[in-house]
């Protein structure tokens, strides 16, 4: 993303168009000029495209079971500890399609977060207790583990207390303007060994959208919680990937992990979250919801009393689309696009791994944002009377949903360093969105999308041949979107032409399968492409990706 934001991959593509309008005093953006009259429009009216959509039953006060009183008046029932639930990986089976369930055995050493979070009645603060099981998979001993505190860079505040390592109290060292805490380990953690880190955290949520683009805070009756918990960054051959969140681009880079999260919240809140709800109870005027998510790069949830939802299924996956009640038509459109996108990407890339995908409309300055198993879309796109950069909001709603859904494949299942190699998920997401339009509307529709979504952005820099593969912070603010989102997909398209489309398609499926729940790099991407085409792509990568 950009500015002092905290999240992983917002659609900067769209974001910069928005920023031009909403944040900066920039001239009216020309990214998608009104002079492009060939807008992609559905072949049939949007509202009629989801005839099978069903209203999803949502938790309400009347459907929540009350806690069963114990037969003993003296000893209250002891709920299973979250950390014990997480230890037994079977709790994650419900969230994975059958073909993906063997993953649980393959990722035995992945980090497990057990998080208990209580939301204050005014929705402006959180209290949390976190139990993290971390296994050193790095091939060398570690003397400390970092936790990133994104609220401290996003207009809120995160404070830690009661930190312990295997039961031994430790003091953190705050770094990077308190956006990270270095937790010293009392004894070195050798390769292959585990450690339990526990801590309490308190969070004040932001109330000013401009600081975080509306991804973290309480806005217009919607609580959005982008990286609210202390989270461990990736450790690789360069050491810990930790820094103050850079401006302009996405800022998260996490290993695939397991999350079990218990949310205690006012009972009227409708909560949309990563993963699958595995338990719900009512305690007084509070609801207690437990979610299991994993493998997943991150855990996110949004909550509002104003949400309603519609849902549909494709294969083993249920798709839920949340929006304010008065925006139900937009929710239906988002549901239809998400369903079509999952179907298309399942066929082209490999199967979506989860049994649930949520689309949630929230007030944000960005147009969209992806998280594991859930994507956020700005509610402006749900307003039929709204125009964005001169185009009807429905046009943006379709392209934003199609783009963010791609990130379930590239960003979540296949991770990448979004700070240093953002093109790997963003340029790919733009290219694959073009495939959504191709499969949905044919070549004419795809060409219109490419004109509006890619060319118009790159044209803003007069098609400057700035490399697409630079670290996000290297780009000037006006370069990032035109190059990574505009020029980037043209490189992927040129690569497909050079390799031959069938070979490229096979390569992309293999990239997805071979890097599942791991991390892709530019070098690995190139190497695998070359193996598939039996050709040397060095000159092409130099021309588009690397050369200054």
| Residue ranges in contact with Zn ion by CB under 5 A | 9, 11, 426, 429
* CA separation for the pair 387, 376 (Å, rounded): 19
Sheet bearing 222-225, strands edge to edge: 216-219, 222-225, 301-304, 270-273
- 258 vs 357: CA distance, rounded Å: 17
Q: For residues 311 and 488, which CB has a smaller minimum distance to Zn ion in the complex?
A: 488
Residue 430 CB, nearest distance to Zn ion (Å)?
A: 8
Q: Which CB, 142 or 455, lies closer to Zn ion?
A: 455
CB of 407 to Zn ion, least distance (A): 6
- CB closer to Zn ion out of 11 and 248: 11
- Report the residue number, 11 or 532, with the smaller CB distance to Zn ion: 11
Beta bridge partners of 444: none
Taking the complex as a whole, the smallest distance from the CB of residue 469 to Zn ion amounts, in Å, to 16
Are β-strands 168-169 and 235-236 bridged in parallel, bridged antiparallel, or unpaired? unpaired
Q: Which of 205/429 has CB closer to Zn ion?
A: 429
Comparing CB distances to Zn ion, the nearer of 287 and 427 is 427
For the CB of residue 488, give the shortest distance to Zn ion in the complex, in Å. Answer: 11
Are the CB atoms for 247 and 153 separated by under 8 Å?
Answer: no
**Residue of minimal Cβ distance to Zn ion:** 11
Q: Pairing state of beta strands 222-225 and 216-219?
A: antiparallel
- CB of residue 429 vs Zn ion: minimum separation in angstroms? 5
Residue 370: CB minimum distance to Zn ion, A: 6
C-alpha dist (Å) from residue 277 to 149, 261, 291, 356, 502: 25, 9, 4, 10, 40
Minimum separation from the CB atom of position 465 to Zn ion (A): 22
Q: Directed axis angle between helix 488-499 and helix 423-449, to 10°? A: 80
Q: Least distance (Å) from Zn ion to the CB of residue 397?
A: 15
- The residue among 92 and 411 lying less far from Zn ion, judged by its C-beta, is 411
Distance between CA 31 and CA 460 in Å, rounded?
A: 7
Q: How far is the CB of 378 from Zn ion (least distance, A)?
A: 13
For residue 200, what are the CA distances in angstroms to 132, 214, 232, 512? 11, 25, 15, 37
Give the C-alpha separation, 131 to 115, whole Å.
6
Alpha-carbon distance 17 to 328, whole Å? 25
CB 193 within 8 A of CB 133: no
Question: Which of 351/426 has CB closer to Zn ion?
Answer: 426
Rounded distance between C-alpha atoms, residue 518 and residue 254, angstroms? 10
Handedness of CA 508, 510, 513, 518 (dihedral sign): negative
Residue bearing tokens 């649980």: 104
CA distance 231 to 181: 10
CB of 95 to Zn ion, least distance (A): 23
Helix segments in 378-521, DSSP class H: 393-406, 423-449, 456-459, 480, 488-499, 501-514
In terms of CB distance, is 181 or 432 closer to Zn ion? Answer: 432
**Nearer to Zn ion (CB atom), residue 14 or residue 235:** 14
């Amino acid at each position: 993303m950009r500015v002092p934001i905290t999240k992983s991959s917002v659609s900067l593509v769209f974001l910069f168009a928005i920023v031009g309008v909403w944040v900066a005093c920039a001239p009216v953006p020309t990214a998608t000029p009104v002079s492009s009259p060939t807008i992609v429009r559905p072949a049939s009216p949007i509202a009629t495209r989801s005839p099978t959509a069903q209203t999803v039953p949502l938790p309400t006060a009347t459907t929540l079971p009350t806690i069963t009183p114990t037969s003993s008046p003296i000893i209250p029932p002891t709920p299973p500890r979250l950390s014990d639930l997480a230890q037994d990986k079977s709790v994650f089976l419900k969230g994975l399609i059958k073909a993906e369930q063997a993953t649980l055995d393959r990722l035995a050493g992945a980090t497990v977060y057990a998080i208990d979070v209580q939301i204050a009645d005014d929705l402006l603060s959180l209290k949390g207790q976190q139990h993290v099981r971390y296994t050193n998979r790095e091939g060398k001993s570690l003397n400390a583990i970092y936790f990133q505190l994104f609220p401290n860079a996003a207009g809120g505040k995160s404070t830690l207390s009661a930190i312990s390592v295997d039961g031994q109290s430790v003091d953190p060292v705050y770094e990077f303007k308190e956006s990270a805490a270095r937790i010293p380990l009392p004894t070195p953690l050798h390769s292959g060994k585990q450690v339990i880190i526990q801590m309490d955290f308190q969070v004040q949520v932001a109330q000013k959208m401009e600081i975080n683009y509306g991804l973290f805070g309480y806005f217009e009756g919607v609580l959005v919680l982008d990286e609210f918990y202390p989270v461990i960054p990736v450790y690789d051959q360069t050491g810990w990937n930790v820094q103050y969140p850079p401006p302009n681009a996405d800022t998260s880079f996490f290993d695939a992990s397991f999350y079990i999260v218990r949310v205690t919240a006012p009972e009227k809140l409708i909560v949309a979250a990563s993963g699958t709800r595995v338990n719900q109870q009512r305690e007084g005027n509070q609801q207690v919801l437990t979610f299991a998510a994993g493998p997943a790069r991150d855990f996110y949830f949004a909550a509002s009393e104003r949400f309603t939802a519609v849902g549909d299924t494709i294969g083993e996956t249920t798709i839920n689309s949340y929006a304010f009640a008065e925006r139900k038509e937009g929710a239906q459109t988002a549901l239809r696009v998400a369903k079509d996108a999952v179907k298309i990407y399942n066929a082209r890339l490999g199967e979506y791994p989860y049994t649930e995908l949520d689309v949630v409309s929230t007030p944000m300055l960005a147009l969209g944002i992806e998280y594991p198993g859930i994507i956020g879309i700005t509610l402006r796109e749900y307003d039929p009377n709204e125009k964005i950069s001169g185009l009807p909001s429905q046009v943006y709603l379709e392209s934003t949903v199609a783009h963010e859904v791609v990130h379930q494949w590239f960003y979540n299942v296949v991770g990448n360093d979004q700070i240093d190699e953002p093109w790997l998920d963003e340029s790919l997401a733009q290219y694959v969105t073009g495939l959504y339009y191709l499969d949905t509307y044919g070549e004419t529709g795809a060409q219109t999308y490419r004109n509006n979504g890619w060319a118009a952005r790159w044209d803003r820099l007069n098609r400057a041949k700035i490399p697409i593969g630079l670290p996000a912070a290297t780009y000037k603010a006006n370069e990032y979107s035109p190059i990574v989102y505009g020029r980037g997909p043209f490189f992927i398209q040129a690569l497909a032409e050079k390799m031959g489309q069938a070979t490229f398609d096979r390569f992309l499926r293999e990239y997805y399968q071979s890097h599942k729940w791991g991390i892709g790099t530019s070098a690995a991407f190139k190497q695998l492409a070359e193996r598939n085409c039996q050709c040397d792509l060095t000159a092409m990568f130099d021309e588009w990706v690397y050369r200054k």
